[in-house]
């Protein structure tokens, strides 16, 4: 068969297919939305309160506070913890923009540290080095990101926080259901933030977020700050913000919460299939950095990975992505530009070469299609296309 005929015969493999998730839940979701309309609880109200209670129970935390987006959840977590203009916060340069912009939004200064080249998570060793630099006395909190659905090496972060008397703020936007040992993301640190953007493992039908904490004072303060600083209606104790979750999103999330454990297990099964298929194709390399094949992601010790993304490394990443696109196979780059090289963050004063692991990862990472309903046939199509690319002359 000619290459042209092979290309035509290749079925499309989407990066994510929300239709497969929503179709079986259609009637259940419409009933939940109808209840919101019938009761006219469009902002906060009973649907949000029910979701907050069920979410806190599932994560094993004392409190969950719904808000309008994952970005607002990060801001709300930092503001709740009292981080402000005299403070600095250490985080990663290899994440979505909100991880740093939320720090700036509360008036604090972001301090960046490099990543681990295997997990892509913030490196505790790099954080420790950053804490030993001049000016680090302003650092009041660490903000590690549980990237791609896997928790950071929490034991080291807990040690650093204890030794340096720092707060731990989790960016758990991609990590609903992930665990470090027996504790869920969202219940490891002092306070945490989740995103329910439509492509997340647990997703809303629009923007929504959540703050979680085991600190009752933080919980009460977060509820106050999300409503313009009100504890009593029209009495403002502080300048907060309007960052409330709406009733429709609370209702949808309440339905989906009942299925998320199963969906996460299906993602884990899909990740295991990718691993098996790539190794059978003979293109998986065992080194840290790619040479002629691909580096597969791994689940670290003490981890329960929920595979929000399945991210490989490839030395010819851009050419590989073009090849996959030509084969109608979805892919995405998370993230093509490290945060310290974003134009909007030139004010931080970092330059090329400051974070070599993050910079190299930005050149090599590629996220492949993964979602609970993906089939083995689709995954085999992805692996076959990558194997064909790697075996072709450059």
Residues in CB range of 131: below 8 A, 6 or more apart: 90, 139, 160, 164
Cα separation, 33 vs 42, whole angstroms? 10
Q: What is the pLDDT of residues 220-277, one digit of tens each?
A: 999 999 999 889 888 899 888 999 999 999 999 999 999 999 999 999 999 999 999 9
Cβ-contact 168, 161 below 8 angstroms: yes
Cβ-contact 357, 123 below 8 angstroms: yes
What is the total residue count of the chain? Answer: 394
Q: Give the residue range(s) of CATH 3.40.640.10 domains in the chain.
A: 21-256
What's the CA angle centered on 176, arms 172 and 177, to 5 degrees?
125
Could you count the other beta carbons within 10 Å of the beta carbon of residue 60? 14
pLDDT tens for the 394 residues of the chain, in order: 344 444 445 568 999 999 999 999 999 999 999 999 999 988 899 999 999 999 999 999 999 999 999 999 999 999 999 999 999 999 999 999 999 999 999 999 999 999 999 999 999 999 999 999 988 899 999 999 999 999 999 999 999 999 999 999 999 999 999 999 999 999 999 999 999 999 999 999 999 999 999 999 999 999 999 999 889 888 899 888 999 999 999 999 999 999 999 999 999 999 999 999 999 999 999 999 999 999 999 999 999 999 999 999 999 999 999 999 999 999 999 999 999 999 999 999 999 999 999 999 999 999 999 999 999 999 999 999 999 999 987 6
Q: Give the residue range(s) of CATH 3.90.1150.10 domains in the chain.
A: 260-391
Cα separation, 68 vs 85, whole angstroms? 24
What's the CA angle centered on 275, arms 273 and 276, to 5 degrees?
65
DSSP string of 89-134?
A: EEE-SSS-THHHHHHHHTT-EEEE--B-TTT-SBPHHHHHHHHTST
Q: What is residue 5's predicted lDDT score, i.e. its pLDDT?
A: 41
What b-and-e string marks burial along 71-84, b requiring 16 or more CB atoms within 10 Å of the CB? Answer: bbbbbbbbbbbebe
Kindly list the distances between the CA atom of residue 300 and the CA atoms of 117, 150, 259, 261, in Å, as whole numbers in the listed order: 13, 8, 25, 20
Q: What is residue 1's predicted lDDT score, i.e. its pLDDT?
A: 39
Residues in CB range of 80: below 8 A, 6 or more apart: 191, 211, 213, 218, 221, 222, 225
Kindly list the distances between the CA atom of residue 321 and the CA atoms of 103, 105, 333, in Å, as whole numbers in the listed order: 33, 35, 9
Cα separation, 238 vs 86, whole angstroms? 18
Q: What is residue 9's predicted lDDT score, i.e. its pLDDT?
A: 53
Cα separation, 120 vs 274, whole angstroms? 19
Cα separation, 4 vs 65, whole angstroms? 53
| pTM of the predicted protein model | 0.93
Helices 247-256 and 18-39, axial angle in degrees (round to 10): 130
Q: What is the pLDDT of residues 334-350, one digit of tens each?
A: 999 999 999 999 999 99
Architecture of domain 260-391: Alpha-Beta Complex (3.90)
Cβ-contact 329, 12 below 8 angstroms: yes
Query: Domain 21-256 is in which class?
Result: alpha beta
């Amino acid at each position: 068969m000619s290459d042209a005929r092979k290309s035509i015969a290749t079925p499309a493999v989407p990066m994510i297919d929300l239709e497969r998730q929503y179709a079986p839940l259609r009637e259940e979701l419409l009933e939940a939305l109808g209840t919101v309309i019938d009761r006219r609880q469009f902002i906060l109200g009973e649907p949000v309160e029910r979701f907050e209670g069920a979410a806190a129970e599932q994560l094993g935390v004392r409190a969950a506070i719904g808000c309008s987006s994952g970005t607002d959840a990060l801001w709300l977590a930092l503001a709740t913890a009292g981080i402000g203009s005299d403070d600095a916060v250490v985080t990663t340069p290899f994440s979505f923009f909100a991880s740093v912009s939320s720090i700036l939004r509360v008036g604090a200064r972001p301090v960046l540290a490099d990543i681990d080249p295997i997990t892509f998570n913030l490196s505790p060793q790099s954080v420790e080095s950053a804490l030993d630099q001049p000016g680090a006395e302003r650092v009041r909190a660490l903000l590690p990101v549980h990237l791609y659905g896997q928790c950071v090496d929490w034991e080291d972060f807990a040690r650093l926080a204890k030794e340096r008397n720092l707060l731990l703020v989790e960016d758990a936007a991609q990590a609903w259901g992930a665990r470090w040992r027996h504790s869920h993301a969202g219940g490891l640190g002092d306070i945490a933030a989740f995103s329910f953007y439509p492509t997340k493992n647990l997703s809303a039908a629009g923007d929504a977020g959540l703050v979680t904490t085991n600190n009752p004072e933080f919980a009460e303060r977060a509820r106050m700050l999300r409503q313009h600083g009100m504890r009593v209606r029209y009495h403002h104790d502080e300048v907060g913000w309007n960052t409330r979750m709406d009733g429709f999103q609370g209702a949808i999330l309440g339905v989906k919460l009942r299925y998320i454990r199963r969906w996460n297990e299906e993602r884990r099964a899909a990740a295991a299939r990718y691993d098996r298929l790539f190794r059978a194709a003979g293109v998986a390399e065992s080194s840290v950095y790619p040479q002629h094949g691909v580096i597969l992601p791994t689940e670290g010790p003490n981890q329960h990975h929920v595979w929000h993304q399945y991210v490989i490394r490839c030395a010819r990443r851009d050419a590989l992505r073009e090849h996959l696109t030509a084969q109608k196979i979805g892919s995405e780059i998370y993230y093509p530009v490290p945060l310290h090289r974003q134009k909007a963050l030139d004010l931080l004063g970092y330059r090329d070469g400051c974070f070599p692991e993050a910079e190299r990862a930005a050149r090599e990472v590629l996220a492949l299609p993964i979602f609970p309903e993906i089939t083995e046939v689709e995954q085999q199509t992805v692996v076959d296309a990558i194997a064909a690319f790697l075996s072709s002359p450059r």
